[in-house]
Structure 1
Amino acid sequence: MSDNASDAAADHSDMNRIPHRRYPCVECPWRRDVTPGQFPLEAFEALTRTVGGPGREVSDTAPMFACHKSPEGDEAACAGWLAVAGWDHFGIRRAVIEGRIDPSVLRPGHNWPPLHASYTEMVTKKAARTPKSTPAVTETSDPDMV
């Protein structure tokens, strides 16, 4: 499994491109191998606006599921979200058509860890059922972010 800085770093190479992580970070909730309970259920409930499904895609103005390691105001789309749920977001589809994001990010890459198959599965497995003392989303000085 690869999770080095060059793989996990955010891609901010062009201002018109959609900033995104290229590999799920070690704490990514979309990863099946991450311990549950890191984020409270309320955090996931707020993120339901970022996911759709076949025939119920979210609009191109819906927010994107940002990597929790992204600094506020400089968010990068989560690699796990893109690979599992990105196609069901019209904003991501439009970005692919416009060349602002590579369509290869819409599926797991080579040597990726197993990911949850859907948002519902991920929330069912990962959400903490009781509030935690730490915030659901925090700023970090992550060396994997560019």
Structure 2
Amino acid sequence: MGGPGTYRRRPCGDCPWRKDAVGEFPAEAFRHSAATAYDMSDRTFACHQSGQAKPAICAGFLLRGSAHNLAVRLGYMQGRFNGGVSDGGCDLHENYRAMAVANGVDPDDPVLTLCRD
């Protein structure tokens, strides 16, 4: 369930962070959201299944792509995220760059240059 300030607790069945969900989204989608993995980014990676009416932050992102994200770090400090996020036994990409490359983004694409691993 989504809503302002919410987040998913486990990756969805076709979550792009899952290694078994490669190819569900076009490479351009990963180019567009690469800035969520930049150091001190204030952008977050939303769960695609939550939609615009009840947006929620992606569990895969919280587990593998948010260590250097300012918005997420502040969210933990402010108590908006209280844990409970699990991979649910799914094999996830190690970081944003690995996920993007697995989904067709050229490893030398400039949009990935600033991604933190």
- Calculate the TM-score normalised by the size of structure 1: 0.64
Gapped runs of 5+ residues in structure 1? 1-9, 130-146
Q: What's 1:120 paired with? A: 97
Q: Deviations over 1:67-101 (max 9, x none)?
A: 11121142110100110012211111111111111
Of all paired residues, the percent bearing the same amino acid is 33
Gapped runs of 5+ residues in structure 2? 107-117
Aligned residues: 106
Partner Cα distance (2:73, 2:83) in 1: 9
Runs (4+) of structure 1 exceeding 6 A deviation are none
Could you say which structure has the larger radius of gyration? 1
Task: Compute the RMSD of aligned alpha carbons.
Answer: 2.2
1:117–1:71 CA distance, 2 compared to 1 (3 A): same
Partner Cα distance (1:71, 1:104) in 2: 21
Partner Cα distance (2:27, 2:87) in 1: 31
Q: Is the Cα contact below 8 Å between 1:39 and 1:128 reproduced in 2?
A: no
Q: Deviations over 1:98-141 (max 9, x none)?
A: 11112453xxx264211100111111112489xxxxxxxxxxxx
- Calculate the TM-score normalised by the size of structure 2: 0.78
Q: Secondary structure at the match of 1:86?
A: coil
